[in-house]
Amino acid sequence: MDILKCVLIGLIVALAVSLACALVITWNNTGSRNLVLGTGALAGAVILFSVQLVFELTKSVVTEFISAEYTIDRKEHKIRSPKYPEACLLRPGKELGAAAVLGKSDPNAYKSIPEKVTHDMVVYSVLAYLATTYPDWQQREIRYKGSLAGTITKTQRMSDPKKSTVISDAELRQMLSSAGNLFSENSPSLGEGGNIYLPQNSTLEVADSSVIIRNPFCKTTFSLSPSGSVSYSKPGHNGVVKLGDKSLEMPDGSSRYETRLIGIKAEIVYYGLRANHRLAPKYREWGKSLLSGMRNWFETN
């Protein structure tokens, strides 16, 4: 349990006991005007303080809905996005590399369990985003602008590892493996050779359809919300299917391509106990950047 929650519970109990004791003593000494006035003042202060606790220590919730689209090629044994965002250069390499490894180790997965392959890729990609694009919760961007080279953006780590929760690539793989993710084994490194720095006292949980980050200030959840729709047309053909086109079929007559649209519900709950902490604005800025960056990672528009 959060130590601050224990302190709050202790405070409430102490205030209640103090007020009750004061009332008992005053009741037995009603002849003392000062005791009556003092007890009234104490009761008023307790009520005012309690009201302020309710209003000031209130949690807040931020939600975003992000879309991810993936096409499975059952003939070539691979999965990829029909179109990758131009601004996101790292995502294709991570996903295509992981898809190629699965295509060699378990090619039948693309035919027998395509929906699980898609869901597992989304979870894998969420972790890849954290490891490559947002490896440090306090990172800052540095932009180099040139007339010929254009604009080059790099990120600089700002967090002290000793004051952060550090998660290695090996630990990320173990989390994926424990969740039964198909892309946990022998896939390319999720990050770019470094660790993920999360806020101090954070935990990262990976399940079959969600990724959760918890710390004393907030809880961030990325959960899958499948649309249920499946398109069997060839990517890039705007849904147009030519009759008799054998390139769209498998030898058994089934569709070669399957495209699924998966929603990612991103929710950040900022706990009320630290709503007005001096570090609260920093956590809110981190959350805002985290969601904005993830939208750029998955969505093309």
Domain shared by 133 and 8, yes or no: no
Instruction: Name the percent of the chain lying above pLDDT 70.
Output: 91
Domain shared by 224 and 106, yes or no: yes
Integer Cα distance of 110 and 26 in angstroms: 78
Domain shared by 49 and 127, yes or no: no
Residue ranges making up the domain that contains 185:
60-298
Domain shared by 114 and 83, yes or no: yes
Integer Cα distance of 270 and 286 in angstroms: 12
| Average pLDDT of the residues of the chain | 88
pLDDT for 147 equals 66
The count of domains in the chain is 2
Is the pLDDT at 289 greater than 50? The verdict is yes
pLDDT for 240 equals 47
Instruction: Name the percent of the chain lying above pLDDT 90.
Output: 62
Question: 74-110 pLDDT, tens per residue?
Answer: 889 999 999 888 777 889 989 999 999 999 999 999 9
Integer Cα distance of 73 and 103 in angstroms: 10
Integer Cα distance of 118 and 110 in angstroms: 9
Give the residue from 171, 234, 241, 164 showing the smallest Cα distance to 198: 164
pLDDT for 150 equals 62
Reduced to 3 states, what is the DSSP secondary structure of residue 248?
helix
Domain shared by 26 and 125, yes or no: no
Domain shared by 102 and 141, yes or no: yes
What's the rounded mean pLDDT across residues 117-127? 96
Is the pLDDT at 223 greater than 90? The verdict is yes
Integer Cα distance of 61 and 218 in angstroms: 9
pTM: 0.86
Domain shared by 98 and 129, yes or no: yes
Q: State both tokens at 200.
A: 């101090």
Q: From the CA atom positions of the chain, what is the Rg in Å?
A: 27
Domain shared by 124 and 10, yes or no: no
Question: 228-284 pLDDT, tens per residue?
Answer: 888 888 876 554 445 455 566 777 767 888 999 999 999 999 999 999 999 999 999
pLDDT for 291 equals 95
Domain shared by 141 and 261, yes or no: yes
Instruction: Specify whether the CB–CB gap between 134 and 293 falls below 8 A.
Output: yes
Q: Which of 18, 39, 56 is the last residue of a domain?
A: 56
**69 falls in which pLDDT band (50, 70, 90)?**
very high
Give the residue from 298, 301, 144, 113 showing the smallest Cα distance to 224: 298
Domain shared by 8 and 88, yes or no: no
Q: Please, where are the H alpha helices in the chain?
A: 3-27, 33-56, 90-105, 109-112, 114-132, 169-178, 280-298
Residue 219's Cβ-count burial label (10 Å; 0-12, 13-18, 19+) is: middle
Domain shared by 16 and 131, yes or no: no
Of residues 261 and 193, the one with the higher pLDDT is: 261
Integer Cα distance of 172 and 234 in angstroms: 34
